A and B are shown apart, each in its own frame.
Chain A
Amino acid sequence: MTLAVLLALGVLAVGGGVLVFVVDSMARATFCLLASFIAVAVMILMTGLAYLGTVIILMMIIEMVIMAVFMIMYMMNPAGLMPMSMFHNTRGAALISGLLFAGLTAGIFLADWPEKRGERPKDPTTALGETLMEGHMLTMMTLGVTLFSTIVATVVLATGRGRYDRLGDGLDAAHADDPAGGGVGR
């Protein structure tokens, strides 16, 4: 039974991924990808990692809805009303992805997986987190702060309007000159 469910989820995950390139509507492509990700999340739930699986569902829904907005904004045929193709360099891409898929699949069967030792931990998510993070907490914290400052720096560099545009050269305007008003009345 478990194997049948896993198999069905696997088919859904791969099938959803294939459909992304088959359908010609950006909205459908985005939500096919979401279906694929959710199938993977349910597989992770089935391994007993409740927190990780649920968080993947949460993050992927938010991410895919935001991605739908950007895909439709930037792609050439947002509504899917005219036929379009999402393929470029089809032969090279088929070769590369075919080899990659074969390599990864071979890796699954050829790898020398360790035998299970000891009991299943009471909370597998905590155990997994400790294994991943325990010795590397400082690295991870530094990485997190670095990533965050990169995001802030990128936004500062990319923004078309800074505080001098809003509040004047002396930053002393009584009201900010904003194209759209906010709710706080700054």
Chain B
Amino acid sequence: MAAPAMVLVLPVLLVAAVWCVAVLDGVLADRAAGHRGGAGRSLVRPGQEVARLLAGQRRTTQAADGLLRWAGIAGLIVASVLAAGVVPLGWKAPADLSVGVVWFNAMEVVAWAAVWLVGWGPDSALSLVGGYRFVAQGLAYELPHMFAIITAALGAGSLRMSDIVDAQAGLWFAVWMPAAFAAYLLSAAAMAFWGPFDAPLGRDVAGGAAAELSGVDRLLFEGGRRLLLVAAAAVAVPLFLGGGHGPWLPAGAWVLVKTLAVLALLVWLRHRLPVVRMDRWTEISWIVLLPLTMVQALAVALVVLARGGGGP
């Protein structure tokens, strides 16, 4: 597939993946609640929910900063799509940048600004609490996340996603960099404030950053959050899961299958684990995860040196 065609296909694939996330999330929520609605109910419900939010009225609060709230919502969606642009769909990415790993990092961190802005915008105390919670969570997950992604780049000796995929023709990075892979998966959930890391949208603060969102605003924010989750799951494939490498199927199919598998794991974990408070998570992240990912990076660096890699 040529690059311009992929640019057109990418948004379609992203929306389809978001829909898969919503369906699986609904199935697991139904099962936990003891509903026996059947799979059909779960398949149509995301569509119904979209229609409901599209038709619903937009509430605004007094003295809201609409411009900043809009910037937050739009930023979340735009950044998620731009982050997903460096993922090779098969062997080639829509934008195979020489600094793909850093680009993904830069786009993913837009979520910090986006969630804070959405929390700040409505001039409501509970949503502001949610926004600040996400900044605290960001400070906790970001450093282990950076060490995890840079470890994959180190193993391949390149920041380009397609080079990292090529380096995994034999052994997947997830196999010999397990700590980096685990830290990446945790940070993928944390950056999309998903799974056990959804305290910024917690029920204890009446929905947190999203407390005052309604109608199309809520649709775009919740959709943007799932887009970011999809982008983060998709980036795990070239970084750690061998990208398009695999028997029988074409490369593009393998990327899709692996992305959906990572998404399924993240959705399942969301329903298995309780919410982690960010004060607890910060200490775990800085005292356990950060040294662990640093040691992982050191180990990978030593392997690369022993192979005679490193340096021009």
A residues neighboring B (CB under 8 Å): 25, 27-28, 31, 34, 50-51, 54-55, 57-58, 61-62, 64-66, 68-69, 79-81, 123, 180-184, 186
Contacts of A123 in B (CB 8 A): 98
Contacts of A31 in B (CB 8 A): 68, 71, 113, 117
Decide: A54 near B112, CB < 8 A? Known: A25-B65, A65-B138, A69-B135. no
When chains A and B are docked, how far (Å) is the Cα of A64 from the Cα of B106? Answer: 13
Q: Does B301 contact A (CB under 8 A)?
A: no
Closest A residue to B134 by beta carbon equals A65
The smallest beta-carbon distance between B300 and chain A, in angstroms, is 20
Query: Quick one: which of A50, A61, A181 contacts B280, CB cutoff 8 A?
Result: A181
When chains A and B are docked, how far (Å) is the Cα of A148 from the Cα of B68? Answer: 35
User: Contact at A184–B117, with CB atoms within 8 Å?
Assistant: no
Contacts of A66 in B (CB 8 A): 135, 139
The smallest beta-carbon distance between B178 and chain A, in angstroms, is 21
When chains A and B are docked, how far (Å) is the Cα of A185 from the Cα of B132? Answer: 24
Closest 7 CB pairs of A and B: A182-B283, A183-B280, A58-B106, A183-B284, A57-B106, A65-B112, A183-B283
Task: Label chain B's interface by main secondary structure.
Answer: helix
When chains A and B are docked, how far (Å) is the Cα of A40 from the Cα of B91? Answer: 32
Contacts of B287 in A (CB 8 A): 182, 184, 186
Contacts of A79 in B (CB 8 A): 63, 123
Query: Quick one: which of A54, A81, A182 contacts B63, CB cutoff 8 A?
Result: A81
B residues neighboring A (CB under 8 Å): 63, 65, 67-68, 71, 97-99, 102-103, 105-106, 109-110, 112-113, 116-117, 120, 123, 132, 135, 138-139, 142, 159, 276-277, 279-284, 287-288
- Besides the known contacts A64-B113, A65-B113, 13 further A-B residue pairs in the complex with CB atoms under 8 A apart: A28-B65, A31-B113, A54-B102, A55-B102, A55-B106, A61-B106, A65-B116, A80-B65, A182-B287, A183-B279, A184-B283, A184-B284, A184-B288
User: Contact at A58–B102, with CB atoms within 8 Å?
Assistant: yes
Closest B residue to A58 by beta carbon equals B106
The smallest beta-carbon distance between B292 and chain A, in angstroms, is 13
Closest A residue to B106 by beta carbon equals A58
When chains A and B are docked, how far (Å) is the Cα of A152 from the Cα of B109? Answer: 26
When chains A and B are docked, how far (Å) is the Cα of A68 from the Cα of B142? Answer: 18
Q: Can you offer 27 A-B residue contacts whose CB atoms are under 8 A?
A: A27-B65, A27-B68, A28-B67, A28-B68, A31-B117, A34-B113, A50-B97, A50-B98, A50-B99, A51-B98, A51-B99, A51-B102, A54-B106, A55-B106, A58-B102, A62-B109, A65-B112, A79-B123, A81-B63, A181-B279, A181-B280, A182-B280, A183-B280, A183-B281, A183-B282, A183-B283, A184-B284
When chains A and B are docked, how far (Å) is the Cα of A180 from the Cα of B283? Answer: 11
User: Contact at B135–A65, with CB atoms within 8 Å?
Assistant: yes
When chains A and B are docked, how far (Å) is the Cα of A183 from the Cα of B142? Answer: 17
Decide: A183 near B113, CB < 8 A? Known: A51-B99, A54-B102, A65-B138. no
When chains A and B are docked, how far (Å) is the Cα of A62 from the Cα of B284? Answer: 21
When chains A and B are docked, how far (Å) is the Cα of A68 from the Cα of B277? Answer: 22
The smallest beta-carbon distance between B32 and chain A, in angstroms, is 25
Closest A residue to B136 by beta carbon equals A69
When chains A and B are docked, how far (Å) is the Cα of A79 from the Cα of B121? Answer: 10
User: Contact at B109–A58, with CB atoms within 8 Å?
Assistant: yes
The smallest beta-carbon distance between B245 and chain A, in angstroms, is 26
Closest A residue to B285 by beta carbon equals A183
Contacts of B139 in A (CB 8 A): 66
When chains A and B are docked, how far (Å) is the Cα of A69 from the Cα of B132? Answer: 8
The smallest beta-carbon distance between B208 and chain A, in angstroms, is 16
Closest A residue to B288 by beta carbon equals A184
When chains A and B are docked, how far (Å) is the Cα of A16 from the Cα of B297? Answer: 39
When chains A and B are docked, how far (Å) is the Cα of A131 from the Cα of B229? Answer: 40
When chains A and B are docked, how far (Å) is the Cα of A32 from the Cα of B223? Answer: 26
Decide: A27 near B283, CB < 8 A? Known: A66-B135, A81-B63. no
